Amino acid sequence: MKKLFTLTLFICVSLLVAGQSKDPIIESIIKEANGNSQLEKLGYELMDGIGPRLVGTPQMQKAHDWAVAKYNSWNITARNEKWGEWRAWERGITHIDLVHPRIKSLEGMQLAWSPATPAKGVTAEVVILPDVADSIAFQKWLPSVKGKFVMISMNQPTGRPDYNWEEFATKESFEKMKNERDEITKAWNDRLSKTGFGRRDLSTALENAGAVGVLACNWSRGFGVNKIFSASTKKVPTIDISLEDYGLLYRLAENGASPKIKVVSESKDLGVAPTYNTIAEIKGSSKADEYVMLSAHFDSWDGGTGATDNGTGTIMMMEVMRILKKYIPTQSVPFWWDTGEVKSRDSTGHGVLWKTIRRL
């Protein structure tokens, strides 16, 4: 990331001082970037201290306010500009325990914007989405989900990413695994299709039929890494279970052990909340009608810290602004930084257009 930062900073400075390879200002900037980088501190404060920045959450607002305060501490003018509203939601704890046929705490978390369980949690049997003949047969099966958790993801045949298989397996065993996985994936997709519902509509149908929760496993094909996106349920929680624990539940249910789990999932529906772009400016004077714009989107999913998507981009832009403010004379080209001029959002609130350029 430091290499990328140095390259970005060099390009920005080159726009300002073209052709001067030994300019003392450039030398000072390079020395500051290499010897006094604030990237690690900024990364700690944003990704560790504040955490993920899901649109509509208190953490998103806290991040906006942090960015403005940080710019002000560098004597850079900054502000939050309102852009619309979004679903306000706050994540609480997610705790999942296998309670039958044995006791084991499971790894998982509720999806973004998931409804909560009652305060004392929900204990219920886990069942697998069945392989029915067609949508009519599925409608006949639906009432049986009342009072149960329903698993809607396939059981992965392996938890090892492909690169690990390639390194340690024989060529024959690797190919055998891939062929089996392809067959299982096709069969599961056919199973989903025969319900007559799309993936998001399926969760709603299960909820409306009386299921107490929906269980999924959105594996990213990395060691122990799942993707945590948004829930489509409105009344009951949707929980993502880690690959290994999801496989355990699946096998128990598949073999007739009637597994039961207890889920305590806390969250708060806060109605709606305003959304913002955070904008910082270093205004020039000699070319006040020209500009250089740096941008990175600020919002993130909240299954992780939002570091690569796009916290690292954000702190890199901030570091560029800090160093330019410190070493570039004000009689220069204006800089304009923002977290992404979001022109529209998709159904989850994530920005569709994250970067734009406009004149000051």
Domain ranges of the chain: 2-87+272-338, 102-258
Task: Give CA–CA dist 95/106, Å, rounded.
Answer: 8
Beta strands 122-128 and 260-282, pairing class: antiparallel
Tokens in use for 58?
């208190």
Cβ neighbors of 57 (< 8 A, separation 6 or more) are: 88, 89, 90, 91, 273, 302
90 pairs with which residues across the strands? 268
Q: Which residue has the tokens 């959304």?
A: 275
Task: Give CA–CA dist 122/107, Å, rounded.
Answer: 16
Closest CA to 94 of 109, 112, 107: 109
The Cβ of residue 207 has, within 10 Å, a number of other Cβ atoms equal to: 23
Q: Where do runs of H (alpha helix) occur along 150-304? A: 162-168, 171-193, 199-208, 243-254
Question: What's the distance, CA 35 to chain centroid?
Answer: 32
pLDDT at 293: 87
DSSP state of 30: H
77 pairs with which residues across the strands? 281
C-beta of residue 152 within 8 angstroms of C-beta of residue 204:
no
C-alpha pair distances (Å), 267 with each of 118, 137, 217, 245, 338: 10, 35, 20, 23, 30
Beta strands 213-216 and 149-151, pairing class: parallel
Q: What are phi and psi of 93, to 5 degrees?
A: -75, 155
Q: Which residue has the tokens 């397996």?
A: 169
Domain 102-258: assigned CATH number: 3.50.30.30
Length of the chain: 360
pLDDT at 352: 32
Burial call 96-133: b when 16+ CB within 10 Å, e when fewer: bebeeeeeeebebbbbbbbbbbeeebbbbebbbbeebe
2-87+272-338: in CATH 3.90.1150.10: no
pLDDT at 67: 97
C-beta of residue 295 within 8 angstroms of C-beta of residue 254:
no
R_g of the chain, CA atoms, integer Å: 25
Q: Helix or strand or coil: residue 184?
A: helix
pLDDT (tens digit, 0 to 9) for every residue of the chain, 360 residues total? 555 555 555 555 555 554 445 788 889 999 999 999 999 999 999 999 999 999 999 999 999 999 999 999 999 999 999 999 999 999 999 999 999 999 999 999 999 999 999 999 999 999 999 999 999 999 999 999 999 999 999 999 999 999 999 999 999 999 999 999 999 999 999 999 999 999 889 999 999 999 999 999 999 999 989 999 999 999 999 999 999 999 999 999 999 999 999 999 999 999 999 999 999 998 887 777 888 888 899 999 999 999 999 999 999 999 999 999 998 765 444 555 555 444 444 444 444 333 332 322
Tokens in use for 18?
């073209």
Task: Give CA–CA dist 126/131, Å, rounded.
Answer: 16
Tokens in use for 48?
């560790």
